[in-house]
Structure 1
Amino acid sequence: MRGTLARWGRAEWGPLYTAVRGRLRERGPLALPMTLSAVALTAFLQYAQNQPWGYRCVQDLGAVRAEDPLWAALLRTPLSLFVPAPDLPVWGALAQILLVFGIAELCLGWWRTLAVAYVATLAGTLYARFGITLGAHAPFGLPWTDAQVVDTGPSAAVVGLAVFAGWRYGAYVTTGAVTLAMVVEVLVKENLAGKEHLAALMAVGLLCLLAAVRDRRGSRPRPRPHRWSGRWAGRGSGLPPIQS
């Protein structure tokens, strides 16, 4: 039993572990500049928004609500990735960012990590507006009171990155488990945050599909060049190349 679990663990997390270990051995903490900056920024914003002098500033720059004008929400969305809920312990958010952002940065690179995180957060932000427009009685709708609720902060980005990195490195069971957990969250506690997480998962799922299509096209063998009227033999015709 123990051997079976070990083999499964190597098959599930082996490629991801190898990539993370290789990058850390190569550069150490210097391989995580974006993640460490994100942790520091999240900690500072949590401290600032719990101070009389900083609450309004953080809200104006990084708090996104569906009742806000769309242009203001789009401007605030990048910073909203790092604004945790002011009434919840910040240590959980910091640990999630350090772990999930860190693994993603080591495996995907910092700019891909930020891109996936932004897409996931933006999907949740736009879904909230769409759901409130539908109304509470529609299948994917939201009550109008959710228009005043602040968006999820870093959690949607964390969920999206966990799924994308897991899929990219073949940890399909882990990816499915994260997805299932988000579905159960909505079924058990139907709130704005849970539904925004599902919207983030759908957006990241689309990114995975696009990446898979791109990779499949890039892996197709190219036709061999043959001299025949100065062209590629067989190109576009579906026929094998003419042998010289």
Structure 2
Amino acid sequence: MGSPWPERVWGLSVSVDAEARVRAAGPEPALAGVRRPVAAPALRPPGRAERSLKSFVRFLGRNLLREFRSIVAEPVRELVRRGLSGILIAILASAAVLSLHAVDQHRTGAVLVRLVSHVRGDIPLPLVLLRTPLSLFVPARDMPALPGIPVLFLGFALAQLVLGRRRTLVVACAVSLAGTLSARVMIAVGPRWWGLPPEAAHVVDTGASAAVVGLFAHIATVKRAPVLFFFAVTPTVIRSFEKPNLAGREHIVAITFAVVLGFLATRKPKKPAPVDTARPA
């Protein structure tokens, strides 16, 4: 038998040579993974309701910003520029209401206030016209004077800053007088649809509520401010329909007349047609 030594030595030399070749060749390159294209998820186009909601939100944001500028930013800027003279009507109106209310608390003062400011449907029309300006600043009998001062001050102050002094006075007196005259017509019509019973002619018709709500309605119409109209005018309209008395009917007329004046003030004049000055041949 031959010795196994040469086989072991041979096998060892073969394995050593194989390992040397592997080390010389380096590690086997890794197989690159095959990338398969993955389709991107398809974007679902927005539905009709979603587009409408986005359009409404953009429209609401633009209008709220525009109304904030015209109702808040510009009046505040005007107040800073003009000072207290920019709200002089509001100061005088509030002082007049407080003064007449204090005078009306005494017996002699009450008689004087009644003679110079009380308006009713059973007194002659010329006397009504004379008493109407002062009747704006006499608190109504069924309403406390002090809680209404802030609203009166805000209404006249905003109106003077937005409309100017002269236009504020004209609109306030016009809408108040329109309500007073309409009350006389409704009393003459009688207790039918939109009429008033005869005893309404003896109700004292004073107070600045019709003028103030008319000023708010006029400003909201001129400045295209639906938010102001909703918060300052709509509650008065609702109360007027819930309680259809003399004051409620006058408030409806004053608001309607103020809105009409606002539309007339913002109506754009028609451009005249161009005149052909060329001489005929």
1:209 pairs with 263, 268, 275, which one? 263
Change (3 A) 1:88 1:17: same
Query: Given that residues 152 and 193 in structure 1 are in contact (C-alpha distance below 8 angstroms), is that contact kept between their aligned partners in structure 2?
Result: no
Change (3 A) 1:31 1:159: same
Residue number in structure 2 paired with 1:196: 250
What percentage of residue pairs aligned between the two structures are identical?
36
Amino acid at match of 1:105: Q
Query: Given that residues 216 and 233 in structure 2 are in contact (C-alpha distance below 8 angstroms), is that contact kept between their aligned partners in structure 1?
Result: no
The runs of at least 4 consecutive aligned structure 1 residues that moved more than 4 Å come to 3-8, 176-179, 220-227
Deviations 1:128-158 (A, max 9, x none): 111111111x111001111111114100000
Partner of 2:102, secondary structure, is: helix
TM-score by length of 1: 0.83
Residue number in structure 1 paired with 2:239: 185
Partner of 1:141, secondary structure, is: coil
Residue number in structure 2 paired with 1:235: none
Amino acid at match of 1:71: P
Partner of 1:71, secondary structure, is: helix
Query: How far apart are 1:191 and its partner, in Å?
Result: 1.2
Alpha-carbon distance between aligned partners in 1 of 2:274 and 2:196, rounded to the nearest angstrom:
56
Amino acid at match of 1:18: A
Query: Given that residues 142 and 192 in structure 1 are in contact (C-alpha distance below 8 angstroms), is that contact kept between their aligned partners in structure 2?
Result: yes
Q: How many residues align?
A: 223
- 2:136 aligned with 1:81, yes or no? yes
Query: What is the RMSD of the two structures over their aligned residues, measured on CA atoms?
Result: 2.3
Alpha-carbon distance between aligned partners in 2 of 1:21 and 1:95, rounded to the nearest angstrom:
17
Alpha-carbon distance between aligned partners in 2 of 1:188 and 1:152, rounded to the nearest angstrom:
21
Residue number in structure 1 paired with 2:19: none
Amino acid at match of 1:228: A
Query: How far apart are 1:7 and its partner, in Å?
Result: 6.2
Change (3 A) 1:226 1:125: same
Residue number in structure 2 paired with 1:42: 97
- 2:266 aligned with 1:228, yes or no? no
Out of 72-81 and 32-41, give the one that drifted further. Answer: 32-41
Change (3 A) 1:30 1:147: same
Query: Given that residues 119 and 135 in structure 2 are in contact (C-alpha distance below 8 angstroms), is that contact kept between their aligned partners in structure 1?
Result: yes
1:121 pairs with 161, 165, 176, which one? 176
Query: How far apart are 1:196 and its partner, in Å?
Result: 0.5
Partner of 1:153, secondary structure, is: coil
Query: Given that residues 221 and 259 in structure 2 are in contact (C-alpha distance below 8 angstroms), is that contact kept between their aligned partners in structure 1?
Result: no
- 2:124 aligned with 1:69, yes or no? yes
Amino acid at match of 2:201: A
Amino acid at match of 1:13: F
Query: How far apart are 1:88 and its partner, in Å?
Result: 3.0
Query: How far apart are 1:63 and its partner, in Å?
Result: 1.0
TM-score by length of 2: 0.72
Amino acid at match of 1:35: A
- 2:220 aligned with 1:166, yes or no? yes
Unaligned regions of 5+ residues in structure 2, if any? 1-56
- 2:201 aligned with 1:151, yes or no? no
Alpha-carbon distance between aligned partners in 2 of 1:170 and 1:83, rounded to the nearest angstrom:
31
Alpha-carbon distance between aligned partners in 2 of 1:87 and 1:133, rounded to the nearest angstrom:
24
Amino acid at match of 1:148: H
Unaligned regions of 5+ residues in structure 1, if any? 230-244
Alpha-carbon distance between aligned partners in 2 of 1:143 and 1:225, rounded to the nearest angstrom:
58
